[in-house]
């Protein structure tokens, strides 16, 4: 399900915090947050450096704010979503980079990246 322009997802603040960590170049914190699944801090650092532009927090009115597809439940009992976030840079505005992540409901009622 792709959101309409005004849809707000309950996990949106968690996703935006991930983007903020990327903007602040806190790669070790991102690796820890994701459990190091798929990308290490070193891989993130290298990818951003090689891109050669300065990633910034997207403006609040960026549309669509998130690309979200709910993952159909299999054996898992908690809901999960594939989430894409367009990244923005100082040099180009909306970038051709997309941050992709999986968000799952956590045991404590929060969300796990």
Identify whether 37 is part of a domain: yes
23 part of a folded domain = yes
Structural domain for 31, as ranges: 12-107
For 42-67, write each residue's pLDDT tens digit: 999 999 999 999 999 988 777 767 89
Q: Considering the domain boundaries, does residue 41 fall inside one?
A: yes
Domain count, the chain: 1
- Per-residue pLDDT tens for 71-113? 987 766 788 999 999 999 999 999 988 999 999 998 888 899 9
Q: Are 106 and 112 a contacting pair, CB within 8 Å?
A: yes
Which pLDDT band, with edges at 50, 70 and 90, does 3 fall under? very low
The predicted model scores a pTM of 0.84
- Is residue 3 in a domain? no
Any domain includes 2 = no
The reply to whether 7 falls in a domain is no
Answer whether residue 113 is part of any domain.
no
């Amino acid at each position: 399900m792709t959101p309409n322009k005004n849809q707000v997802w309950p996990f949106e603040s968690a996703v935006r915090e991930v983007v903020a960590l990327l903007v602040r170049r806190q790669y070790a914190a991102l690796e820890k947050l994701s459990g190091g699944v798929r990308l290490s801090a070193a891989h993130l650092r290298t990818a951003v450096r090689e891109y050669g532009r300065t990633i910034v927090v997207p403006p609040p009115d960026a549309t669509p704010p998130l690309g979200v597809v709910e993952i159909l439940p299999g054996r898992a009992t908690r809901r999960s979503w594939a989430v894409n976030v367009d990244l923005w840079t100082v040099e180009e505005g909306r970038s051709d980079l997309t941050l992709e992540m999986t968000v799952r409901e956590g045991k404590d009622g929060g969300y796990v990246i």
